[in-house]
Structure 1
Amino acid sequence: MDIRDLLSGDVAALTEAIIACESVSGDEKTLADAVESALAGLSGLNLHRDGDTLIIRTETGAPQRVILAGHLDTVPLPTTPGSRGTVPPSWERAEGEDLLYGRGATDMKGGVAVQLKLADDVAAHLAAGGSLDRDITWVFYDHEEVEASRSGLGRVLRSVPELLDAEFAVLLEPTHGVVEGGCNGTCRAEVSIPGVAAHSGRAWMGENAIHRTAGLLSVLSEYSPQTIRVEGLDYREGLNAVRIRGGVAGNVIPDSTVVEINYRFAPDKTEEQAHAHLYEVLGSAGITPEQVRITDSSAAARPGLDHPAAQAFIAAVGGEPMPKYGWTDVARFSARGVPAVNFGPGDPLLAHTDDEHVSAEALRACHQALHRWLLGT
């Protein structure tokens, strides 16, 4: 895959080429190779690779450094027949807009395409003798759409954290082209419900573990998630069962069931406080701590929009800041003391859907806004 020749052209065409390179989590190498090939040798850019994560940096000695970051991977392709949010991508003209359909169109290959085009813009600017008000680090990383322990960004933060030192960071996650501050935290837990196995023809001899989930599911169904204001932004929480497994055969009363739960918590809480709330809710359903196993957890991030770098960014790109309801890697930067926001093309509500798509105009508008911020034109 060769995308080098597309860098100086339309960012929408570049996005199409990037979507066409399938990169479900764990299979990012082909796309990472293409990004490396496209950026290698561009004027004034230094490249470092760690697995399938690429870090590209200018080193002009500017007084401030900023980061533009985005992940290369996507969730699995849709399985519903006729789904358009898949690979290869396709175009449709609707209501006066050119819409690009394909897996990752919003989450977040549109943002990755904008990053790449900006790298080419900056390289051309430097080659022409231009200067920068801010040095720039671009990060293209693997394994974002899976458990936090596999994150390419997390791996780099452990192995070469100095490459990610900066005064401000922008995650090009889809935000409809407005700044989204902070993010909700997330934690996943498995709740084990025991039973007693028996022949289904003599069900009275056992205890049906699937039936015993009723109390837990009822509590979750009736749970009222909070909306919590943090630094002027309203974050909506969520606590839901997302998966259930149990049973061994069609004629056996199941002796165990596992319910997987996902809690999305506002940035007013630490991870420890979020876990305590989860245990409290589960306890109201008669679940003991011994039945609960936390399988994945990531901290929330406060908005931090009062930081001077964030204020300057908002002034440059415009719009009214909003909260980020999902979890993003702004939390990793925030934990290191680097103020970070989400800003990218596309509707976040379309992420992971069967008809995932982004408009060509949204891609161009995002590129133009970030170009103004970085280069002033």
Structure 2
Amino acid sequence: MDWVRLLSRLLQAESLPGQEGEAAGLLLEALKGMGLEARLDEAGNVEALLGEREPEVVLAGHLDVVPPGDPARWPHPQGAVAEGAVWGRGAVDMKGPLVAMLLALEALKERPLRGRVRFLAVVQEEVGGLGSRYAAERLSPLAFLLGEPSSRRLMRGHRGRAEVWADFEGEEAHAALSGPENPLFDLAEYLLALRELPLPQGVKLTPTRVDTYPGARNQTPGVARLYLDLRYEPEADLDGLLAALRTLGRASVYVPEEERASGEVRMTLPALWPPYRLPGDHPLLLAALRALGQEEAGFWPFTTDAPYLGAKAPVLGYGPGDPGLAHTPKEHIPLAEVEAAGREYALLVEALWSAA
């Protein structure tokens, strides 16, 4: 397998959420070229299986990426191989890790198999996790190895995130004839009260945006909407926090929902990305740490598909690439990092089989 060319082509396949088909086709072609049976499930997830007997370990990642933005801001074109690395949106988040998983499958094919390994590349991670939610419904493995970038450090979870909307109702009127029912004043008072709200330990709440509807600049709005970014630990009382936010002023406070679809699958998903935390003394985590020669697992600074997969089996995070480069115009992954991760994914799979 010419994995460098494959990664370059994957980065040139834009694969925004809901548009993962081209990238999925490239992975299917590569997996079949390795002699594996590969398929798309009903949601458009790519799946392949190596080995037959249990225990099963799943190498999991996602196909979709955020938009690359202005090409002029990138030092190299999408998919370019330069400075010992492959450049482009998705290099670390997370097509580089997916290719490293294929290298692991190639290595494991040449060894005695003490279990089976499933490759799973899901759709729509960036917008609520439809692909992983659907796949997890039918899988019951020993563990998932989730390949989000971690600079090849083992990870055991992350904080949760929610998008909270606060709507302030007013009266639409021409600005020259407007009355007192301007919701922007209510919004301003709410922000001042929010600044004084005591937050529980482990909770961060950040106002990020305001929109008005209908949106004309010479009209008082019928609705002013405040967007709040909420980050929270597993112990947080989310319902209690939302209740507190509703007491701060005349606002309708809620977590919005969105209809998502892929292939034959339809879901209504809240703007809520739950936290995940694998216990630090979990036997599989300890076995993985020993295999890598690492002392302690860390936590990702961002949310992942771990909560949806973790409802079925423990999730251990490990991926090549600097997570600080994700979603930036400097995103790239060193070739040596991909190769090293391929070896270590194989090592981790075998360590988990042995620990079962």
* TM-score (normalizing by structure 2): 0.84
**Mapped partners of 1:90, 1:220: distance in 2:** 46
Question: Secondary structure of 1:373's partner?
Answer: helix
Query: Counterpart in 2 of 1:330?
Result: 306
Query: Counterpart in 1 of 2:78?
Result: 88
2:218 alignment partner AA: N
1:60 deviates by 3.2
Give yes or no for the alignment of 1:321 onto 2:314: no
* Structure 2 alignment gaps of length 5 or more: 258-270, 352-356
Distance 1:302 1:175, change over 3 A: same
Question: Secondary structure of 1:40's partner?
Answer: helix
1:171 deviates by 0.5
Distance 1:36 1:276, change over 3 A: same
Question: Secondary structure of 2:89's partner?
Answer: coil
2:182 alignment partner AA: N
Question: Secondary structure of 1:132's partner?
Answer: coil
1:183 deviates by 2.0
Kept in 1: contact 2:186–2:250 (CA 8 A) = no
Query: Counterpart in 2 of 1:243?
Result: 209
Query: Counterpart in 2 of 1:197?
Result: 172
Which of the residues 329, 337, 345 maps onto 1:362? 337
1:32 deviates by 0.7
**Mapped partners of 1:35, 1:60: distance in 2:** 21
**Mapped partners of 2:69, 2:243: distance in 1:** 34
Question: Secondary structure of 1:109's partner?
Answer: helix
* Structure 1 alignment gaps of length 5 or more: 229-236
Cα deviation, 1:337-365, whole Å, max 9, x if unaligned, reads: x1112110112222112322222332232
Structure-to-structure mapping, 1:9-88, within 5 angstroms: 12-40=4-32, 42-43=34-35, 45-50=36-41, 51-62=43-54, 64-79=55-70, 82-84=72-74, 88=78
Which of the residues 68, 75, 95 maps onto 1:109? 95
Distance 1:309 1:92, change over 3 A: same
Cα deviation, 1:195-220, whole Å, max 9, x if unaligned, reads: 222221234x2432234322333455
Q: How many pairs were matched up?
A: 335
* TM-score (normalizing by structure 1): 0.80
Cα deviation, 1:95-128, whole Å, max 9, x if unaligned, reads: xxx34331111111111111122223333x1xxx
**Mapped partners of 1:72, 1:21: distance in 2:** 10
1:110 alignment partner AA: G
**Mapped partners of 1:312, 1:114: distance in 2:** 21
**Mapped partners of 2:308, 2:348: distance in 1:** 23
Give yes or no for the alignment of 1:154 onto 2:133: yes
Give yes or no for the alignment of 1:171 onto 2:137: no
1:193 deviates by 0.8
2:231 alignment partner AA: R
Distance 1:370 1:219, change over 3 A: farther
Kept in 2: contact 1:170–1:341 (CA 8 A) = yes
1:139 deviates by 0.4
Higher mean alpha-carbon deviation, 81-90 vs 194-203, is at 81-90
1:58 alignment partner AA: L
Higher relative contact order (Cα pairs below 8 Å, separated by 6+ residues) = 2
**Mapped partners of 1:306, 1:353: distance in 2:** 35
